[in-house]
Amino acid sequence: MKNDLNLCVIGLGYVGLPLAVEFAKHFPVTGFDIKKDRIKELLSGHDSTLEVEDEKLKSVLGKEPFSDQPSLFLTSEIDHICKCSIYIITVPTPVDKNNRPDMTPMIKASETVGKVLKKGDIVIYESTVYPGATEEDCVPVIEKVSGMKYNQDFFCGYSPERINPGDKLHTVTTIKKVTSGSTPEIAEIVDQLYKKVIKAGTHKAPSIKVAEAAKVIENSQRDINIAFVNELARICAHMGIDTQDVLEAASTKWNFLNFKPGLVGGHCIGVDPYYLAQKAQEVGYHPEIILAGRRMNDTMGAWVAGQIVKLMIKKDILVNKSRVLILGITFKENCPDIRNSKVIDVINELKIFGCQVDVYDPWADGPEVKHEYGVELIPAAKDIIDLAKGYNAIVLAVAHDKFKDLNIQGLNKNTIIYDIKAFWPRESVNARL
C-alpha cells in the first residue's frame, strides 16, 4: 500500500470523522461534509459528537488541500476533493416515517463523487445498506454522472462501519473490519488500506454483497435478541416477577446470551433490520422474525408509559396534569447522540395521558433536541440531588453515570420511580423494566 495516496472521507459524523483522523496519520486525507457548520466546528478543533478528543483532532489538522504529507484537510467545497484517488463514503442510511430505507444520502454522495471521479479511482462505501445496494443503486449513479464504466474506469469497495458511539474501549482501530472489493485485485487494495489503521485486523469478504449482508445481520440479530427479552419483560410484568432476577438466574448457564430489555433506538439496531426486510420483500420473501422483533421493540416506549400510568393510578395519583420527570433522552448512556431515540415514545405517550412531562439530560444538546423532537430540556438544578423534587413520577430512561448522584431515596413516598435501565438499587424504585 503506497503512502502517497490521497484519500477523501465524505460525511464527517460519528463514523467518518474518527476514520478520517486515523487515516490522516498515514495519508493526506480530505474530510468533506455538506454541513458548513460542522466543518467550522471541526476546524476550531472540537468535535461535538465527542468521538474524537480535541487534542487528537488538532494534531492532524492540515491547512492546505492536496498535501503531500499525512494530514486532515476539512472542507465543504467539491473543488477540494477533485484530486483524491480513493473516496470513502460514510453518510447516514436512515429510514423514512414509514420505516422504508431512505437512500437519499447515499445517492447524493454518489453524485458528488461522480462529478470528480477520475480513471482508476476507487469508491468505498461504509454506510449500512441491504445486500446489493452498492452495485445496484450507487454504482449506476456514479456511472451516469461521471460517464465512466464500472470495473473498467473506476472500482468500488465496501467495508461496513462498526462504530459504537460513546464507547472508548471499542473504537474504530480496535474493532475487526470486514472489507471487500469489486474485483479480487481491488479487494486486496481495500483490505491493505484498512490494515494500515485497524489494529484488530481485517476480514476480506469474497464479494461486496457478502460484506453488505454481514453488516446488516449484525444489528438485526441483536435487535431480535433484545425483542425476545422485551417480550419476557412484558410477561414478567403480568406475573409479578422481576425481569432482572430472571435474567440473573438464567445467566448462570454458560451459553445463555445475557441481553437486557430496553428502548431500542440509535442509528443502527433500530434501523438496519428494515433495510434487510425491504430487500427480502423485493426478492419475494416476507421476513417473519425480523419484522416481529421490530414490532416488539418499536412498541416498548408506549408500553412503558402505560406501566407508569398504572402505577400512578394504584397510588391514587391523578394522571391528568401530573408532573413527570424523564431522565435522559440520548439513545444510550454517556453519549450525546440523540438519533432515533425511543425515549420520545415514552414522552409522547405520557402526554397523551395528560401528563406534564419535563426532560433532563446533561449529555444532550438542547437546541438539537428541540429541533429533532420539539422537546425543551430543563436546566439542571444547582444540586442534582434536588432536581427530582416536586414530581409525581420519575422515569430513569438513560443510564448516564451522572444520575447515580440523584437522591431518589429522599423523595416523597408517593412519587412513582420507574427504572427502565435497572440502574438504581431495586429497593429504591417502584418498578424496573
Residues involved in catalysis = 268
Report the b/e string of 295-324 with b at 16+ CB within 10 A. Answer: ebbbebbebbbebbbebbeeeebebeebeb
DSSP state of 376: P
Cα separation of 130 and 275, whole Å? 5
Q: What angle do CA 176, 180, 186 make, to 5 degrees?
A: 125
Smallest CA-to-CA distance from 248 within 420, 426, 416 is with 426
Hey, what's the cell of 243? 425481569
Smallest CA-to-CA distance from 39 within 23, 59, 66, 57 is with 57
Q: Is residue 362 a contact partner of residue 398, using CB atoms and an 8 Å limit?
A: no
Q: What is the CA 163 to chain-centroid distance, rounded?
A: 8
Which residues, listed in sequence order, are joined to residue 86 by a DSSP beta bridge?
Answer: 7, 122
Cα separation of 270 and 298, whole Å? 8
State the Cα torsion 107-112-114-115 to the nearest 10°.
150
Which residues, listed in sequence order, are joined to residue 367 by a DSSP beta bridge?
Answer: none
Which residues, listed in sequence order, are joined to residue 28 by a DSSP beta bridge?
Answer: 71
Place of cell 444532550: 364
Hey, what's the cell of 32? 468533506
3-state secondary structure (DSSP) of residue 51? coil
